[in-house]
Amino acid sequence: DQQVKQNSPSLSVQEGRISILNCDYTNSMFDYFLWYKKYPAEGPTFLISISSIKDKNEDGRFTVFLNKSAKHLSLHIVPSQPGDSAVYFCAASAGPGFQKLVFGTGTRLLVSP
Amino acid sequence: KAGVTQTPRYLIKTRGQQVTLSCSPISGHRSVSWYQQTPGQGLQFLFEYFSETQRNKGNFPGRFSGRQFSNSRSEMNVSTLELGDSALYLCASSRAGGQEETQYFGPGTRLLVL
């Protein structure tokens, strides 16, 4: 049972445009959400997170939006750059307590010049 | 500061064998988590160790086990390997394993079971 779903396995965007990556979850106990980026042959790298008490968190070109009623979160990258090309994973955890991340299956983003 | 290191990076084993993977966390980090990444399932949580104790466990069979040493280094063991165990095994570390602490991942160990 996939509790965190990324229904788009891939996304192609032109440089300078907005990239929107989506993630849905089913477990209403999740209260902390994260996005990780992964390049080939490297481990995932933390990008941005959001607590369930917020509906938006921004960090430079990256913004995460959380819609709790729809159990949906999205990552916006503006403007997209070729170096953003990677696999993006959303993850969730149910706290308080210890770290146990539940990951989605990832979306491969390709930003073309 | 050195990142999370994992050894070996690549491993080939045959069915029925056992394997031990190693993870050295970032200096000062006491929490180590292990994940399995497969194409169909994404990253799945295996277990988390803190101060040499397993604090949290995912839904994997008992063939998957781990331990943590006093210097926070951790090992993961898989016994009686099956073809389906072929995967990228990632470990991640954080200071104390709090929910909102960033987990830093290593590059992973790619295991191929023939």
Using CA coordinates, name the residue in chain B closest to A4. B42
Please give the pLDDT value at position A98. Answer: 65
A86 touches A77 (CB < 8 A): no
Q: Which of B40, B97, B105 comes nearest A44 by C-beta? A: B105
Average pLDDT, chain B: 94
Residue A47, amino acid: L
* B89 DSSP β-pair partners: B36, B109
Closest partner residue to B48 (CB to CB) among A45, A96, A98 is A98
Residue in chain A nearest B32 by alpha carbon:
A99
Cβ contact A95–B99 (<8 Å): yes
Interatomic CA distance for residues B64 and B90, integer angstroms: 14
Interface probe with A: pick from B21, B36, B94, B103, most Cβ of A within 10 Å: B103
Closest-approach residue (CA) in chain B for A97:
B99
From the list B42, B55, B108, the residue facing A98 with the nearest CB is B55
* Residue B88, number of CB atoms within 10 A of its CB: 17
The pLDDT, as a whole number, for residue A16 is 97
Query: Does the pLDDT at position B40 exceed 70?
Result: yes
| Residue B1, pLDDT above cutoff 80 | no
**For the segment B43-68, what is each residue's pLDDT rounded down to a tens digit?**
999 999 999 999 989 999 999 999 99
**Which one of A45, A49, A103 has the shortest CB-CB distance to B42?**
A103
Which segments of chain A have a pLDDT < 70?
97-98
- pLDDT in the model for residue B90: 97
Residue A64 exposed, middle or buried by CB count within 10 Å (0-12, 13-18, 19+): buried
Measured in angstroms, the CA of B79 and the nearest CA of chain A are apart by 23
Answer with the residue of higher pLDDT: B81 or B96.
B81
State how far the Cα of B112 lies from the Cα of B85, in Å rounded to an integer. 8
Tell me which chain B residue has its CA closest to the CA of residue A103: B43
Residue tagged 């902390």 (tokens): A32
Q: To probe the interface with B, which of A31, A46, A52, A100 has the most B CB atoms within 10 Å? A: A100
Closest Cα in chain A, distance from residue B38 (Å) = 9
